[in-house]
Chain A
């Protein structure tokens, strides 16, 4: 719930300088995704801003979203997803899949 608030805060903080897709921030810390659930609107392209706060690299991977991207330690990456149908799209950190698990909920 706290995270949901954080996301909303982040969304609001993005000033509409350009009419780009909505941005969602995802942090990787101790091989976990924060938040581990992201809710995005259906049929909309969104931009995931993934920050890897660990020293080790991680690979954002989702078979359902058809995305794979390696994020080096202590760095950031941008991943576009969507437009998507309603549903649940799991993603995981390929390098530490036991802990780094999350899902995108499209509503």
Chain B
């Protein structure tokens, strides 16, 4: 059962056809029977009429020429021994038997229904016959006139049912369309006018579910953001105390160095969590403006140049002026995350290549590193929150919390951009491509 509409159409048409056609057959049979009875009655009265009109007992070849070719009569005298008279088209022998009542016989290439009337007063037989095929077509002609509309009505009802069922199922398709066109992150309730009774439960329950989901999401968001925000202060305090400790015990203490790394990692995590919730795609009312992508990348590279310098990495930027619609802060975060990933995983003296180009209505930002790369089967997973390649065995000297790419993905979704992971132009390494849709020029 693939389509309710087709099912309803076929089932209804089948029902209408069956009911109509069976009653049509019934009506046909009844009418035909009535007609035959009428014809028989007429045949019988004709026989009596002929009998009383031709009361002469002698053979007379000259009477009754007026019979149509569709009927004939014979009058047999002396108990059926002698043909007294007949219509011109009648045979001069007895067809069938001289047995009072109705019979069917073949004569002159036609099948006839005859009525044999025994005239007991004059001891003679009157045979009147009619062509059966003519009787039938006469009766049928009349009956068919009344049946034709029933047959013609079927395709018409099919059309009307098709349209009516379509109208009846419209709320369902409206609902389906609403749900289909809902953006992934759109948790607003379904709006539908005049919801039919059958769909009320579906719409109400779906809306209740959407509201619950929305509340759960915002609760989670608020909690994480608040928690991260609240953690900022103690971290800052920790950093101050750490600074003081360093002053007191010097730079060489191993424990203090480890503590410093730990605090730095925690601070990084909190900053990332805050960035994540600032850039979540369902964050409403994000300000979008025209942004020159190349200029933005340049500024981020300049701002964070220290990280490349520290590892003595070569970074090359290749791009032209391309304007995209976007949010300045979010895009900065995206580029910053991708660049810091590239720098983190590229070994010292490695290469990083950044290119910005546009073609076919797309702006393409590519960042390629010469690090170890990511196996293809992991490409989906690295975007998951807190997922880190190789889990705990992750090179411990690289600070990270597994949120970077999640944030990148969220920002990309916010800009309706697509992210693709691939292999870089260098011997090994990762290439991250972000495609932004350019607005069509009108």
Contact = CB atoms under 8 A, between A and B. Distances in A.
CB–CB under 8 A between A and B in the complex?
A: yes
A5 to B, nearest CB: 13
Contacts of A1: 93
Contacts of B110: 30, 32, 99
A29 interface: yes
Nearest to A3: B106
Nearest to A29: B109
Contacts of A98: 111, 132-133, 136
Interface in A66-104: 98-99, 101
Contacts of A33: 106
Nearest to B131: A99
A85 B330 CA distance: 102
Contacts of B106: 32-34, 36
B40 interface: no
A55 to B, nearest CB: 15
Contacts of A101: 104, 111
Contacts of B136: 98
A99 B136 CA distance: 10
Nearest to A100: B111
Interface string A12-48: 0000000000000000011011101000000000000
Interface in B88-133: 93, 104, 106, 109-111, 132-133
A69 B441 CA distance: 77
Nearest to A34: B106
A99 B105 CA distance: 10
A101 B106 CA distance: 9
A101 to B, nearest CB: 7
Nearest to B104: A101
A30 B110 CA distance: 7
Residue of A30, A32, A99 with highest tally of chain B CB at under 10 A = A99
Contacts of B111: 32, 98-99, 101
Nearest to B136: A98
6 contacts: A32-B111, A36-B106, A98-B133, A98-B136, A99-B110, A101-B104
Interface of A: 1, 29-30, 32-34, 36, 98-99, 101
Given A32-B109, A33-B106, A34-B106, 5 more contacts: A1-B93, A32-B111, A99-B110, A101-B104, A101-B111
